[in-house]
C-alpha cells in the first residue's frame, strides 16, 4: 500500500487560531511594528506602515460592497502598491484575483467575466491601460495615503476565500482555482516548520514569482512571520547578471525560482559568487533536471525541491536537495497525505507507477463555476477522511518513502513553471475563421527546452503562421504561444482512432511566424543573427524578424545575453523586450574589449603545448590503440559525409583549421611520461592541403564513394601523433562529397553531427563573404578531465562505484549468451583472472611497458584479432510510428523503449528472472561541455527484473526509473566498476546497445537485409539502432567465434524486431507472452557463476 503522510508538532485543528492569514499578519504587525516589512527598490514600508496602508484600502473596498467570499481583481505592476492592494483585499474579506497587466486584454476580460469581481484594485493606471469597463476600479496610490487606518471589523473564518488564481483550461478558457484562508495558513505553517524555523529570524525573502503564479505565496506568507519581503523588479527577473547583483545588494536570504531559472543562474555563477546572506533557495514549478540537482546538492546554500499543484496551495511535498539522492519530490508537508493510486483506483505498491492523489489541509475548495470539473478532480477520500485532489501527475514511491516524478497522464505540460493545457490553445485556434481543427504538441529539443508546435487543418485557404500567432497573441499570454504553426490536410490517427502525434511531421522553417526576409546588415547584426539561429533553432534570421515571434522567451533572452558576452557583445536584456526585432535590438548592442572570438582563438593557437592528466576514457581508448598499433588493425572511427555543390579545397581547409582551433580535443595527443598517461594539448595544428579524389569517370560513382569511405575508415591512427582525423574530398558527377573521419578518442558520435553542421555553416558563410562569429566552447576537454578526477575522488567516487556494483550484485553474473550462442568458448568470471590471462597473450611486438599500462587502464583488450561479422536490417514506418506514439504517451525518449526491448529480448531468449545490458551513453555534463569536441562516452548498465506477471509497461517503467541514476553516475567508467567488483566483462558484458538519433530529416530508405564480414564489437555482440524520422536502422556486429549468421539474423535481430513489434501492438502484454518467431532451444535453469581460482569457466 502506498500512502505517504506527514505528522507535525502543529496540530491541523489548531489552524482555527489564527482564523485567517489576516489575523496572522496583524498579530505580527502588532509584535514588530517598526521592522521592515516590504521593500521595492528605494521604497520601504515597515510593518506598521504596511498595516495602515492596507487597512485604508480595505475600508475603501468595504464601502464598495466587498464582504467575505466576494472576489476583487488585482491589476498592478510589480511594486509596493501590488502587495498593499493584495493585503487590503484580504482585510476587507475579499478574495484577490490576479489580473496580469501583461496579459492580452481578451484573456483578462475572460477572467473578469468568469470571476465577476465587485471591484478591481489597480495602480499606475494598469487597469485603465487594459480598458476595463463596467467594474469599479480602486487606485491604491490614491487610497493608501488617506482614509481610516484602523483595522476593519470583518469576521473572517478559515473557510472564507483568500484568492482565485486562474490556470490554463482544456476548454479554451482559463479556470479559476479557489483557495481558502485555512489552506493559506497551512502553507505558511508547513513552510515555517520545514524551512524557516531552521533559519535565523528577520530574513530578507525575495518575491520573484509573478503574483499570477501561486508560487508567489511562498514569499508573501512570510509577512506573517516578521520577515522582509523584497520585490524583484521585472527587468531583473529575466537577467541572470542583474539577478545575482540583486541577491547581493539586497542581502537576500531566501528566494524562489523555477529549475529553468536556477540553471541559468548557476551558469551565471550563482554558487561561485560570494552571497553570505543567502540561506535557502526554493525551486519548483517544473521537473528538476538531474544535472541542476547535482550542482545544487554541492552548493553552499540549502536548496529545496518544492512540488505541488495550484489546487493544493502551492506546495504539497518538499525535498532537501542532497547528493545522497537523485531528483525526487521528497515527503509531504505537515498535514498532507499523498496516495499513489493505480488506474483501477487501488493503492500502488512501492516501485509501481501510479497517479498522485493529494489530501489534507492544502486541498483547495475547487474550481470557480466549474461544478462538474470540481467533482471530477476533487473527490471524497476512499482511503480515509476528507477530500482528495487527483493531480494527474505520475509518480512512484521509492523504498525509503520518497516520491519520484515521472510525468503527466494527460495533455497538460509545464513550461518555465507555467501550467498549460494544450487543449486550451487548440480550442482558441479553432475560433479562427480559417481553421477547421487544431492540435498542439510539446516538442523537446536536444538541450531539454520544451516548445509548443500547433498543427492546424485549414477550413479553406491556409492561414499563415504569422496570422495564427497574431490571432493567439490577442487572446493568450506569451508563454502559451506556439513557436510553429503547421498546416496539414488531416491528422494521422492510430488504431484507437486518436491523433498519432508521433506521426506528425516536424515543423520546418516556413512554419515559424516571421516577417519578409531582409538579410542582416553590418557586423553586429550578423553576429546576433547567428546567435538567434543557434538559440531558437531556425534556419535564418532577417532584420525585421521578432525574437519572440520566432519562439524566444525570457529564458532564451537570458541565454542570448550570456552568449553575446562570450563573443564580446554587450547589451541590456531589457532592450530586447523593448526592441524585439533583430535590427532594433542590434542597434542597442556594442562590442566590448573582452571575450572576443579572435582573441580566444589566438590564445589557443600559440606555440608549444600543455600537458595534463588524461581522462578515464582517454586511458581506455589509448589502451585499445596500443593493441591496434601492434596488430596493424584499423582504428575505431566515427565518420560523416556532407554533400556540397562544388567545394573549394582551400576554403574547406581554412574552415577546418578554425574548427581545430576551437576544439582542443582535435589537437591533443596521448603519451606515457613519468609512469602515467598524460594528454598533450598542442597550441596549433594546420591541416595538410586537401587533394580532391575525382570519381566522375567511375562506372558507379556512388559505389566508388562507398569504397573510398571504407578505405578511409580502415586507417590506423597513432595517438602520439597528429592528426587523429582526416578530411577527404570526392568529386562526383552532380556534386562534391566531403568525408569527415575521426578516431573515437577525439570525437564521439553524439557530437559529430553538431560539429559537422558547425563546419558546414562556417563554410557557407565564408563562401558568401558573410561574417560568422562562432563562440568558443564553454569548457575544454582538459577541464572536463580535471572535473572528472574530482568527481571520481573521495566520497563522490565511492557513490558512483557503489551504484554500479550494487546493480551488478543485484542481477548477478550470468553469461547469458551461452543459452543461445552456437559455439561455446571458455570464459573468466573474475576480472583479475581475465587480466592475468590477457597479459599472458600479449600481441607480438607490443611493448611490455605499454602493455602493462594498457591492462591497468582497461580490461576488455583483444589479445588477438577477433573475426567479426555484421547483419543489417530496418524497421519500417508502421511499427516505428506506433513505438513513437507509445514513447510520447509515456513521456519517454524512444531510446528508453529500445533499451527495455533489448532487455526483454534477452529474457525471452534465456528465461532469466533478471537481465542486464550495456548501453553506450554520452557522458557530457550539462552546461560547459555541451559544445565541446572529445570522447564523452561510457558503457552504462540497465537492468530489468521479472516476475511471472511482469508486463511490458513495467519493464519500460523500470528502465525509465533508472535513467536519472544513470545520468547521475555515468561519469564512472565500466572498467573501474569491474575492477572493484572483480567481475569480468565476459561475465556481464555480452550485449551492448548503441542508440543514435540520425542528424538528418531524410527518410530511411528501405533496403534488403544483408550480411557482411568485418566490424567491431567490444562485447559478444553490439546492437546499433539509428532512429530516422520514419523508421529504425538496425545493425548487429558480432563475434563469428560465438554465433552463426542465421542465429544473429533470426534469433537475435529478428527477435529484437519481434519484441519491438509487441511493444508497438500490445499495450499491456505480459513479457512472458511475447512470442519470438525463431526462439532458441528451451533454456536451462539460470546458473550464476562465482569467481573461481585460476581457470576459465567452460561454457
Q: Give me the pLDDT at residue 592, please.
A: 64
To which CATH superfamily is domain 522-595 assigned?
Answer: ACP-like (1.10.1200.10)
DSSP state of 136: E
What does each C-alpha distance from 600 to 603, 658, 774, 785, 1036 come to in angstroms?
Answer: 5, 12, 11, 21, 43
Helices and strands: H and E segment counts in the chain: 35, 43
Assess whether the region 41-156 and the region 792-1073 belong to the same CATH fold.
no
Residue 481 near residue 473 (C-beta atoms within 8 A): yes
Look at residues 260, 208, 280, 267 and name the one whose alpha carbon lies nearest to residue 241. 267
Kindly write down the DSSP assignment for every residue of 965-1027, as one continuous string.
HHHHHTTS-HHHHHHHHT--HHHH-SEEEEEEE-S--S-------EEEE----SSSEEEEEEE
Instruction: Report the alpha-carbon distance of residue 546 to residue 563 in Å, rounded.
Output: 18
Q: Give me the pLDDT at residue 60, please.
A: 96
- Angle in degrees, CA 284, 895, 308, rounded to 5: 15
C-alpha cell, 528: 546576433
Domain boundaries, the chain: 1-20+179-410, 41-156, 412-511, 522-595, 609-779, 792-1073
CB within 8 Å of 249: residues ≥ 6 apart: none
Residue 205 near residue 219 (C-beta atoms within 8 A): yes
Residue 668 near residue 677 (C-beta atoms within 8 A): no
To which CATH superfamily is domain 412-511 assigned?
Answer: ANL, C-terminal domain (3.30.300.30)
**Domain at 609-779: CATH architecture:** 2-Layer Sandwich (3.30)
1-20+179-410 topology per CATH: Rossmann fold (3.40.50)
Q: Give me the pLDDT at residue 254, please.
A: 97
Q: Give me the pLDDT at residue 833, please.
A: 62
CB within 8 Å of 609: residues ≥ 6 apart: 680, 681, 682, 683
Q: Give me the pLDDT at residue 858, please.
A: 43
Task: Please state whether the peptide bond connecting residue 18 to the residue before it is cis, i.e. omega within 30 degrees of 0.
Answer: yes
C-alpha cell, 596: 572576443
CB within 8 Å of 185: residues ≥ 6 apart: 15, 18, 20, 21, 24, 158
Q: What stretches of 64-180 show up as alpha helix (H) in DSSP?
A: 80-91, 105-115, 126-130, 140-143
Q: Give me the pLDDT at residue 1053, please.
A: 94
- Asked if the 41-156 domain carries CATH number 3.40.50.2300, the reply is no
Angle separating helix axes 597-604 and 649-662, nearest 10 degrees: 80
Task: Please state whether the peptide bond connecting residue 26 to the residue before it is cis, i.e. omega within 30 degrees of 0.
Answer: no
* pTM listed for this prediction: 0.51
CB within 8 Å of 852: residues ≥ 6 apart: 839
CATH number of 792-1073: 3.30.559.30
User: Exposed (0-12), middle (13-18) or buried (19+): which is 77, by Cβ within 10 Å?
Assistant: middle
Q: Give me the pLDDT at residue 846, please.
A: 43
| 880 phi, psi to nearest 5 deg | -60, -50
Query: For 869-911, what is each residue's pLDDT tens digit?
Result: 889 998 988 898 889 888 877 778 888 999 999 999 999 998 8
Helix (H, G, I), strand (E, B) or coil at 869: strand
Task: Note the Cα 3 to chain centre separation in Å.
Answer: 29
Regions in the chain scoring below 50 on pLDDT: 1-2, 6-16, 593-607, 842-864, 1083-1099
Amino acid at each position: 500500500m502506498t500512502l505517504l503522510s506527514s505528522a507535525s508538532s502543529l496540530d491541523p485543528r489548531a489552524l482555527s487560531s489564527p482564523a485567517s492569514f489576516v489575523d496572522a499578519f496583524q498579530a505580527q504587525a502588532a509584535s514588530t511594528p517598526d521592522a521592515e516589512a516590504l521593500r521595492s527598490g528605494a521604497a520601504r514600508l515597515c510593518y506598521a506602515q504596511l498595516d495602515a496602508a492596507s487597512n485604508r484600502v480595505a475600508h475603501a473596498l468595504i464601502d464598495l460592497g466587498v464582504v467575505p467570499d466576494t472576489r476583487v481583481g488585482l491589476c498592478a505592476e510589480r511594486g509596493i502598491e501590488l502587495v498593499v492592494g493584495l493585503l487590503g483585499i484580504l482585510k476587507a474579506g475579499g478574495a484577490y484575483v490576479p489580473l496580469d497587466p501583461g496579459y492580452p486584454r481578451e484573456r483578462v476580460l475572460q477572467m473578469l467575466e468568469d470571476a465577476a469581481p465587485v471591484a478591481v484594485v489597480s495602480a499606475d493606471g494598469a487597469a485603465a491601460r487594459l480598458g476595463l469597463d463596467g467594474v469599479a476600479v480602486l487606485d491604491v496610490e490614491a487610497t493608501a495615503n488617506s482614509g481610516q487606518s484602523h483595522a476593519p471589523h470583518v469576521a473572517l473564518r478559515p473557510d472564507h476565500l483568500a484568492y482565485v488564481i486562474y490556470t490554463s483550461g482544456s476548454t479554451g478558457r482559463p479556470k479559476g482555482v479557489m483557495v481558502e484562508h485555512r489552506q493559506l495558513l497551512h502553507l505558511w505553517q508547513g513552510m515555517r516548520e520545514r524551512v524557516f524555523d531552521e533559519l535565523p529570524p528577520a530574513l530578507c525573502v525575495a518575491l520573484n514569482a509573478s503574483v499570477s503564479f501561486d508560487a508567489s505565496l511562498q514569499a508573501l506568507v512570510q509577512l506573517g512571520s516578521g520577515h522582509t519581503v523584497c520585490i524583484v523588479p521585472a527587468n531583473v527577473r529575466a537577467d541572470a547578471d542583474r539577478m545575482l547583483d540583486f541577491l547581493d545588494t539586497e542581502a537576500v536570504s531566501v528566494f524562489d525560482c523555477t529549475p529553468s531559472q536556477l540553471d541559468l543562474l548557476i551558469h551565471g555563477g550563482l554558487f561561485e559568487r560570494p552571497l553570505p546572506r543567502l540561506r535557502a533557495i526554493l525551486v519548483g514549478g517544473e521537473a528538476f533536471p538531474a544535472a541542476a540537482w547535482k550542482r545544487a546538492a554541492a552548493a553552499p546554500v540549502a536548496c529545496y525541491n518544492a512540488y505541488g499543484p495550484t489546487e493544493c496551495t502551492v506546495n504539497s511535498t518538499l525535498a532537501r536537495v542532497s547528493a545522497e539522492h537523485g531528483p525526487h519530490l521528497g515527503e509531504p508537508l505537515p498535514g498532507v497525505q499523498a496516495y499513489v493510486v493505480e488506474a483501477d483506483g487501488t493503492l500502488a505498491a512501492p516501485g509501481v507507477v501510479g497517479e498522485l492523489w493529494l489530501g489534507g489541509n492544502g486541498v483547495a475548495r475547487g474550481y470557480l463555476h466549474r461544478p462538474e470539473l470540481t467533482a471530477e478532480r476533487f473527490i471524497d477520500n476512499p482511503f480515509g477522511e476528507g477530500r482528495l485532489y487527483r493531480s494527474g501527475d505520475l509518480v512512484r514511491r521509492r523504498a525509503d518513502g520518497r516520491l519520484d516524478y515521472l510525468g503527466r497522464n494527460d495533455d497538460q505540460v509545464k513550461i518555465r513553471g507555467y501550467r498549460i493545457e494544450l487543449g486550451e490553445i487548440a480550442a482558441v485556434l479553432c475560433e479562427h475563421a480559417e481553421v477547421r481543427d487544431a492540435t498542439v504538441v510539446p516538442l523537446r529539443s536536444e538541450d531539454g527546452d520544451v516548445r509548443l508546435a500547433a498543427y492546424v487543418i485549414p477550413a479553406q485557404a491556409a492561414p499563415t503562421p504569422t496570422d495564427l500567432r497574431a490571432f493567439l497573441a490577442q487572446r493568450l499570454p506569451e508563454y502559451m504561444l506556439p513557436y510553429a504553426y503547421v498546416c496539414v490536410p488531416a491528422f494521422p490517427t492510430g488504431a484507437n482512432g486518436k491523433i498519432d502525434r508521433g506521426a506528425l511531421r516536424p515543423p520546418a522553417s516556413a512554419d515559424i511566424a516571421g516577417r519578409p526576409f531582409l538579410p542582416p546588415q553590418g557586423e553586429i547584426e550578423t553576429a546576433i543573427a547567428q546567435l538567434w539561429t543557434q538559440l531558437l533553432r531556425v534556419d535564418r534570421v532577417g532584420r525585421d524578424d521578432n525574437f519572440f515571434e520566432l519562439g524566444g522567451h525570457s529564458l532564451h533572452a537570458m541565454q542570448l545575453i550570456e552568449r553575446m558576452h562570450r563573443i564580446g557583445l554587450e547589451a541590456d536584456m531589457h532592450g530586447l523586450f523593448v526592441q524585439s526585432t533583430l535590427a532594433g535590438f542590434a542597434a542597442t548592442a556594442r562590442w566590448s574589449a573582452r571575450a572576443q572570438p579572435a582573441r580566444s582563438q589566438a590564445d589557443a593557437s600559440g606555440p608549444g603545448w600543455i600537458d595534463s592528466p588524461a581522462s578515464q576514457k582517454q586511458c581506455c581508448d589509448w589502451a585499445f590503440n596500443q593493441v591496434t598499433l601492434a596488430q596493424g588493425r584499423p582504428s575505431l572511427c566515427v565518420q560523416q559525409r556532407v554533400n556540397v555543390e562544388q567545394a573549394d579545397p582551400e576554403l574547406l581547409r581554412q574552415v577546418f583549421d578554425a574548427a581545430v582551433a576551437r576544439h582542443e580535443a582535435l589537437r591533443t595527443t596521448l603519451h606515457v611520461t613519468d609512469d602515467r598517461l598524460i594528454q598533450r594539448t598542442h597550441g596549433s595544428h594546420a591541416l595538410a592541403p586537401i587533394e580532391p579524389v575525382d570519381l566522375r569517370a567511375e562506372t558507379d560513382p556512388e559505389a566508388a564513394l562507398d569504397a573510398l569511405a571504407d578505405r578511409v575508415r580502415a586507417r590506423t591512427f597513432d595517438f602520439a601523433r597528429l592528426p587523429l582525423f582526416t578530411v577527404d574530398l570526392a568529386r562526383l558527377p552532380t556534386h562534391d562529397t566531403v568525408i569527415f573521419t575521426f578516431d573515437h578518442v577525439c570525437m564521439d558520435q553524439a557530437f559529430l553531427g553538431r560539429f559537422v553542421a558547425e563546419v558546414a555553416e562556417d563554410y557557407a558563410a565564408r563562401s558568401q563573404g558573410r561574417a560568422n562569429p562562432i563562440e568558443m566552447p564553454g569548457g575544454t576537454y582538459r577541464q572536463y578531465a580535471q572535473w572528472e578526477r574530482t568527481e571520481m575522488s573521495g566520497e563522490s567516487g565511492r557513490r558512483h562505484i557503489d551504484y554500479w556494483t550494487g546493480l551488478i550484485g543485484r542481477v548477478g553474473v550470468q553469461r547469458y549468451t551461452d543459452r543461445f550462442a552456437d559455439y561455446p568458448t571458455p570464459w573468466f568470471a573474475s576480472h583479475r583472472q581475465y587480466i592475468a590471462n590477457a597479459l599472458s597473450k600479449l600481441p607480438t611486438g607490443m611493448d611490455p611497458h605499454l602493455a602493462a599500462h594498457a591492462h591497468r587502464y582497461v580490461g576488455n583488450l583483444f589479445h588477438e584479432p577477433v573475426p567479426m561479422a555484421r547483419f543489417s536490417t530496418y524497421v519500417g514506418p508502421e511499427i516505428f510510428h506506433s513505438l513513437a506514439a507509445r514513447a510520447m504517451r509515456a513521456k519517454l525518449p524512444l531510446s528508453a523503449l529500445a533499451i527495455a526491448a533489448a532487455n526483454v529480448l534477452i529474457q525471452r531468449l534465456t528465461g532469466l528472472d533478471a537481465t542486464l545490458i550495456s548501453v553506450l551513453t554520452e557522458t557530457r555534463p550539462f552546461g560547459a561541455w555541451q559544445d565541446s569536441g572529445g570522447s564523452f562516452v561510457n558503457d552504462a548498465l540497465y537492468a530489468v527484473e521479472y516476475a511471472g506477471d511482469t508486463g511490458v509497461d513495467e519493464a519500460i517503467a523500470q528502465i525509465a526509473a533508472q535513467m536519472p541514476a544513470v545520468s547521475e553516475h555515468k561519469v564512472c567508467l565500466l572498467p573501474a566498476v569491474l575492477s572493484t567488483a572483480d567481475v569480468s566483462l565476459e561475465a556481464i558484458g555480452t550485449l551492448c546497445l548503441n542508440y543514435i538519433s540520425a542528424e538528418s530529416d531524410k527518410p530511411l530508405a528501405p533496403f534488403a537485409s544483408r550480411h557482411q564480414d568485418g566490424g567491431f564489437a567490444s562485447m559478444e555482440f553490439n546492437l546499433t539502432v539509428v532512429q530516422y524520422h520514419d523508421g529504425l536502422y538496425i545493425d548487429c556486429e558480432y563475434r563469428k567465434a560465438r554465433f552463426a549468421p542465421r542465429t544473429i539474423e533470426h534469433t537475435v535481430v529478428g527477435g529484437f524486431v519481434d519484441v519491438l513489434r509487441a511493444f508497438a501492438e500490445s499495450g499491456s502484454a505480459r513479457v512472458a507472452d511475447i512470442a519470438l518467431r525463431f526462439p532458441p532451444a528451451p533454456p536451462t535453469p539460470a546458473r550464476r557463476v562465482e569467481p573461481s581460482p585460476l581457470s576459465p569457466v567452460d561454457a
